[in-house]
Amino acid sequence: MRDKVIVITGASGGIGAALAHTVAQRGANVILVARREEALRNVARACGERAHPVVADVTRREDVRRVVSESLARFGRIDVWVNNVGQGISRVPSQLTDEDVDDIIKVNVKSALYGMQEVLPHFKERGEGHVINVSSMLGRIPFALIRSAYSGAKHFLNALTANFREEVQQTHPGIQFSLISPGVVSTDFGLNARHGGPDSRSRPNAQTAEEVAAVIADVIETRRPDVYTRAGARERIASYYASVGEAP
C-alpha cells in the first residue's frame, strides 16, 4: 500500500472518505474527487499531506479526463482507481419516470464507465493497474422495491465490470477489475436518495463506512476480483436464486 497512487471518487463523505483515511494512514497517496468542495477539502486535510483534492463531477466525461490528467501531473502515475460514486432512488418500478432512469444510470453507471475508459490508456501503457467498482448487494438481489432503478443500475455496473475484465485481460493480464458489494451502510445514502428515503443509519445491522473501507483496502492489496463486505452474503444470494428457481 505504501506510496501507491489511488484515485477515489465520491470522496467527500461516506465510504469514499473512510477509504481515503484508511489508505492514507497506510502510506498511500490519494487523489480525492467529489463535487462538494468544502467537504472534500476537509477530508483531504484530515488525510494529511498525501491527499490531493480535485473538485469534479464524474458524471461528466470531461471532468473525469481532467482528474486523470491532474493525477498524473501531481504523482506521475495512477495505480488504483476506485469508482465509488452512487445515488439511490425511492420509487417502485411501476412509477419510474424517464428522468428517474436517466439520472440513476448517469450517476451509478456512466460515472464508473467514464472512469474505466479514461484511466485505461494509462494502465495499458504501464501494463498494470487496478479498477475497483463499488456496487451493492442490490446489484445481486433485487430485494428492495423502492430501490428498483438503483438495483438495475448496479446489475448493469456488475456486468460492465466483468466484461471489462474479460476484454482487457486478454491483452493486459496485469490490469485488474474488482467489484465490491456492500449491504446497508451507515451513511447519508438513504437521506440523499432521489425522492427521499429512510435514513440508512436507522437500518438494523448496517455496517459502518470504516468497515467497508477496510474491505476495499484489503482488495487493493490482494486484487481479488469479486468481494462482499459481509459474511454470509454469497450464501444469501445462492439461497435467493435457488428459491426463485423453485417457484411455480
Task: Exactly one of 150, 228, 240, 241 is catalytic; name it.
Answer: 150
Residues in the chain where the model's pLDDT stays below 70: 199, 246-248
Domain ranges within the chain, ordered by starting residue: 5-246
Query: Could you count the other beta carbons within 10 Å of the beta carbon of residue 92?
Result: 12
pLDDT of residue 105: 97
Question: Is 240 one of the annotated active-site residues of the chain?
Answer: no
The pLDDT tens digits for 82-109 are 999 999 999 999 999 999 999 999 999 9
Instruction: Please state the pTM of the whole predicted model.
Output: 0.94
pLDDT of residue 27: 96
pLDDT of residue 150: 95
Residue 178 bridge partners (DSSP): 132
In terms of Cα–Cα distance, which of 15, 61, 16 is closest to 34? 16
pLDDT of residue 193: 83
Query: Could you count the other beta carbons within 10 Å of the beta carbon of residue 153?
Result: 29
C-alpha cell at 8: 477515489
pLDDT of residue 176: 98
pLDDT of residue 187: 79
pLDDT of residue 139: 95
pLDDT of residue 178: 98
| CB contact at 8 A, 150 and 89 | yes
Query: Could you count the other beta carbons within 10 Å of the beta carbon of residue 145?
Result: 12
pLDDT of residue 17: 97
pLDDT of residue 246: 61
Q: Does the domain spanning 5-246 belong to CATH 3.40.50.880?
A: no
**Residue corresponding to grid cell 482528474:** 67
| CB contact at 8 A, 215 and 22 | no
